[in-house]
Structure 1
């Protein structure tokens, strides 16, 4: 081991890149190592919509973050506000009765300053007009507390962060998989690596940051921690997040932390590839998602509805409902819509590779629902639903409109319209997994905490590897923000440790 880096970051997704940028900001010599080749690098971040959830008090807070603050739509846009209290309440809604964790409070408290920090590093954002607004009275009305995403979504976010890192003098090596951590005198001081061809190398470092994701791409670990159904999940992102970072940390006595049977999921096209596909344009890749269920109904293989499709804005339900779909018989469901909402369906439903069936009558549509043997059960479900729709309340997709059903054992709480106007469409979906919630205990300096309660010297973690951030669900856009918040923290912590190590030498 001839050369010594101040900080080595394992992984090249957004969290890892934020750690690398933060460490460079403090003057460290930083190397990123990435298992994938350059074209497939970027971790799960590249497969996301690039949206980030954070605290803001109004339009003025958002202008400094924008790629194009002179967009002519801005004066006619009502972004509203998203307070710390609201962010906390949204997280609590998925905590299963748990209070806000230390990690969640840090996520909330550091969210806006981290967005400003990214913007200061020329990582800018644009309003999500296509997915987070409805037009009303000549205004663009944002809903759900989610307003900004990176230009060109997750791919654009990773590319912008990589440009910032390289502009600061950072280096990256592709086809360089971490195999194990090097430890001397109780301190992590490097990484054993291997290329795809089997060539090995040791890289020496004063500090190492684990930013290499969870275990969502490892079917055996999904089955072990989350349940047997999850061996069948489609992996929305990279095939490389197989849990190696966790395994390396556990070998050193790291403390497991968080909800290991929890994960971020979403309804996905049943016939999508087994893994995300970066070989198609990002505009198409995102279209395997199918998250307009709130405008219709979902039925399982028995012909039954199984969730309250209108429980809340889809930002707050898609992670839960992706799990619910996967846990249905046969691991699939059908999303059913009529022509009244066809113009409101997101572009993913018009994607050239979107799978669906269509018919002029509801009866004819039902006959086309493969995987459902009892077609009469579907007819009854839809007839009961239609009869229960509250006709006295107006449909309004810009708010939780209270247009509900009455008398059903499983209600639809909002946006309940009769499904009665042809032509009708139905889309087959399954559950797709994006990232896992179980991770490591991390200190307020980003250090990985040992089972004895002390930081493991020289070892830091960020991104999916930080446990305690999410539990039984996920408000959309929080994952990338969490990656940035804890990535920045880990980079600062690792840089400080590296500086102290040099001083003590």
Structure 2
């Protein structure tokens, strides 16, 4: 007789868990806290990019919705090996070796992408954000090449369609409020006074980023001011339920995906906008200019690495600045390289024909300090090395206490623009311990019978940061595993 499986949540990880369980013949019900319009957890808020290991274009073509795109013949995807993926994760581990969870992510990432494609979840090259044109070719940089068709909304739509084709059902407005225990075994869930029983429960309900109290408790007081980039429904419910069932906490609870965001955005990415537009509050082209705090000082090396490796950390650094804001400053040489979020209809910025006039418009910034910083920066720029956004070009500064290592160009061509930003939080890194079947491990070291977890609920995947695009891949990898285990 087929097993009954309850999946708590409807984001990418939850849907992958449901697909996997349905593949094995289970009867699957997904329970969603939100209404149908806001279902999907954080997935709809993303740009849909997924990082995975691949050896070359031959690994990518089978994943594409349009393998006959004429641009492909003029595209250099390069390769992104498992060693490179592992090394990138190690760069954010603060000296820790790769965790078991990270090794699983790296080693099964390509396989998982192929599995998604087999369920008609297809992808397209990220020409607009991950490549630059060079000598007539599209050159990809930073190891991140594909995103779901129609970005995060498309990923959700395609995965949900697969679930429905396979016979899974979704209940909306069904917030799970507790687990039903039979001794030490999880046998179902509560939705208020209602009880639903099942052979297995998969918690895929996200982290605690939308819970201000939990952010402060685990991450510190600076995080009170963080803009929540994603869903308002990820309030740590699954983590609290797992803890009540005896789960072992795992991972880095002080950390989270923290992106520079428009200072004046509404919390939760402005829910009045269509989900696909909510990502436009990100402001992640700082590598093409400089960032200044309230004192008018630079506080990070904007060009230390490709932005894929810095954007999820620099939001946290902004929250450490006076007033918890900063301004990103650009000159018109790079306006055509700025991503669409900088020209989004709701983007906040000031513009002036001179730097002096610009800093006078930058609210909250000390003008003399800002001009001193910008003058010193311009004088320190290497003017001999050519600018090349497709590589770590080595075009840096000399003589500054805080260098800019790559892509340093003088700010000398008006008009100039400055964009106010703060730190936004997308998801948290702390979670529970799971085994190689996705079962939640208890504090006694043994699996909790009937209880599985995936997505943001899994701790040990990310620590001090992450290479962009890894979050959705992690959700798919651990969702698939939990679905198979539960079935």
TM-score by length of 1: 0.95
For the pair 1:88 / 2:81, whether they are aligned, the reply is no
Deviation of residue 5 (structure 1)?
6.6
2:261 aligned counterpart, secondary structure: strand
The correspondence of residues 193-272 of structure 1 with structure 2, limited to 5 A, is 193-194=191-192, 200-272=193-265
Does the 8 Å CA contact 1:295/1:415 hold for their aligned counterparts?
Answer: yes
Give the deviation of 1:283 after TM superposition.
4.4
CA deviation digits over 1:12-56, x for unaligned, max 9?
Answer: 000000000000000000000000000000001110110000011
* Aligned counterparts of 2:89 and 2:431: Cα–Cα separation in 1: 18
8 Å CA contact 2:396, 2:404 repeated in 1:
yes
Show the 5 A alignment for 1:43-442.
Answer: 43-194=41-192, 200-372=193-365, 374-442=366-434
TM score, norm. by length of structure 2? 0.99
Between the aligned partners of 1:245 and 1:97, the Cα distance in structure 2 is 29
3-state SS in 2 of match to 1:275: helix
Question: Secondary structure of the residue that 1:203 maps to in structure 2?
Answer: strand
Aligned alpha-carbon RMSD (Å): 0.9
- Say which SS state the counterpart of residue 202 (structure 2) adopts: strand
CA-CA distance at 1:165 after TM superposition: 0.3
The ranges of structure 1 where at least 4 consecutive aligned residues each deviate by more than 6 angstroms after the TM superposition are: none
| Cα drift, residue 322 of structure 1 | 1.1
The answer for the alignment partner of 1:443 in structure 2 is 435
Where 1:43 maps in the other structure, the secondary structure is: coil
Is structure 2 residue 475 aligned with structure 1 residue 483?
yes
Deviation at 1:282, TM superposition (A): 4.1
SS in 2 for 1:149: strand
Matched position secondary structure for 1:310: coil
Q: CA deviation at 1:152?
A: 1.1
- Structure 1 CA distance for aligned equivalents of residues 426 and 183 of structure 2: 37
- Quick one: distance in 2 between partners of 1:185 and 1:469? 30
Counterparts of 1:437 and 1:19 in 2: how far apart (Å)?
Answer: 20
Partner SS for 2:42: helix
State whether residues 405 and 413 of structure 1, in contact with CA within 8 Å, keep that contact through their aligned partners in structure 2. yes
Instruction: Report if the CA contact (8 A) 1:152-1:282 is conserved.
Output: no
Structure 1 residue 316, shift from structure 2 partner: 0.2
**Alignment: residue pair count:** 486
Per-residue CA shift, 1:370-401, capped at 9, x if unaligned?
A: 011x2100010101111111112111111000
Verify the 8 A CA contact 2:280 2:340 in the aligned structure 1.
yes
Alpha-carbon distance in 2 for matches of 1:353, 1:222:
28
Output the CA distance in 1 between the equivalents of 2:86 and 2:183.
Answer: 42
1:327 Cα deviation after fit: 1.5
Single out whichever of 407-416 and 271-280 deviates more from structure 2: 271-280
Long gaps (5+) in structure 2: none
| From 6, 19, 22, the counterpart of 2:17 | 19
Map Cα deviations across residues 238-273 of structure 1 (whole Å, 9 max, x no partner): 000000100001111100000000000100000001
2:271 and 2:362 map into 1 onto residues whose CA distance is: 30
Q: How far apart, in 1, do the equivalents of 2:172 and 2:280 lie? A: 28
What's the counterpart of residue 30 of structure 1? 28
Q: State the alpha-carbon separation in 1 of the partners of residues 202 and 427 from structure 2.
A: 19
Tell me the CA shift for residue 427 of structure 1.
0.1
Are the counterparts in 2 of residues 5 and 31 from structure 1 also a CA contact under 8 Å?
Answer: no
**What's the CA shift for 1:279?**
3.8
Distance 1:307 1:186 in 2: 49
Whole-Å separation in 2 of the counterparts to 1:300 and 1:45: 31
Residues in 2 aligned to 1:38 and 1:346: alpha-carbon distance in whole angstroms: 30
CA distance in 1 between counterparts of 2:319 and 2:233 reads 22
Aligned mate of 1:465, from 432, 440, 457 = 457
C-alpha deviation, 1:276, in angstroms: 2.2
Encode CA deviations 1:198-222: one digit per residue, 9 max, x unaligned. xx31110000000000000000000
Structure 1 residue runs without a partner (length 5+): 195-199, 496-505
How far apart are the structure 1 equivalents of 2:268 and 2:307? 23
2:284–2:311 CA contact under 8 A, matched in 1: yes
Residue 178 of structure 1 aligns to a residue whose secondary structure is coil
Q: CA deviation at 1:420?
A: 1.1
